[in-house]
């Protein structure tokens, strides 16, 4: 028997939360690397939503409309992420392989089962609801309001988006729901790996204070 979609969502969000807690978002490099991935993923949001909508026929008009409305809500959000990066004096040049794989996976799923895309969407909405507030507050305290405009918007705008996604699931048959479950699991796994790659990238490229002291004493 398949896991109920809400239970699966909860399992994935708890797993993501554990991963997020391994990163120190008061570290400017960690936050900057994270926002580079956010920018990259955000640039694809409307394109993926429109692609999914285009694959839904007239018999799925209600769901088609929901995808289109959601796409309109996401228009130009990447500009906020880009502004945050510019304030941090960064360019989006350190895109993790996992971020690129997330987009490739969505394109593959959309072309096979367009409604499966909401397995990814509900995870992003859940992150905005559950994890982004902590990241936002930490980054705001350490880097100021001009570094957190993207997160601020999504925290304010997204509180009911998870509930709306679950309402949409009520209209899906079991075959479509199973594709949502699989995509949700795959997307969560890639997002966790992306976050750990950020942590590893920071450790490799930015030496710790202890190591820097040791190097200068040699």
Top-level class of domain 20-203: mainly alpha
> DSSP H helical segments within the chain, as ranges?
5-20, 28-54, 61-74, 77-87, 97-112, 118-130, 132-143, 149-157, 161-169, 174-205, 209-217
**Sequence-distant contacts of 58-64: CB under 8 A, at least 24 apart:** 62/171, 63/115, 63/168, 63/171
CB 42 within 8 A of CB 78: yes
What pLDDT is attached to residue 206? 63
Please state the pTM of the whole predicted model: 0.89
What pLDDT is attached to residue 207? 58
What pLDDT is attached to residue 168? 78
Query: DSSP assignment of 46-82, as one string?
Result: HHHHHHHHHT--GGGHHHHHHHHHHHHHHTTHHHHHH
Profile the chain (218 residues) by mean pLDDT over runs of 10 residues: 86 95 96 97 96 92 89 90 97 96 98 94 90 92 97 77 78 89 97 97 69 44
73, burial (CB in 10 Å: exposed 0-12, middle 13-18, buried 19+): middle
The CA distances from residue 18 to 105, 207, 217, in Å, are 23, 24, 37
Helix (H, G, I), strand (E, B) or coil at 180: helix
């Amino acid at each position: 028997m398949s896991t109920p979609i809400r239970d699966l969502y909860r399992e994935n969000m708890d797993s993501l939360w554990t991963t997020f807690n391994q990163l120190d978002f008061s570290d400017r490099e960690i936050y900057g690397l994270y926002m580079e991935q956010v920018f990259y993923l955000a640039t694809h949001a409307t394109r993926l939503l429109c692609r999914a909508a285009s694959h839904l026929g007239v018999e799925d008009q209600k769901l088609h409309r929901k995808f289109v409305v959601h796409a309109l809500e996401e228009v130009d959000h990447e500009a906020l992420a880009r502004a945050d990066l510019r304030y941090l004096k960064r360019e989006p040049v350190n895109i993790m392989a996992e971020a690129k794989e997330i987009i490739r996976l969505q394109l593959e799923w959309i072309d096979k089962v367009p409604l499966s895309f909401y397995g990814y969407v509900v995870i992003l909405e859940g992150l905005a609801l559950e994890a982004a507030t902590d990241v936002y507050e930490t980054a705001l305290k350490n880097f100021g309001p001009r570094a957190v405009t993207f997160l601020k918007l999504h925290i304010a705008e997204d509180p009911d988006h998870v509930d709306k996604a679950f309402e949409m699931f009520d209209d899906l048959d079991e075959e479509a729901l199973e594709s949502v479950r699989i995509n949700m699991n795959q997307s969560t796994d890639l997002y966790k790996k992306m976050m750990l790659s950020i942590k590893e990238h920071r450790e490799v490229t930015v030496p710790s204070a202890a190591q820097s002291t040791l190097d200068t004493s040699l």
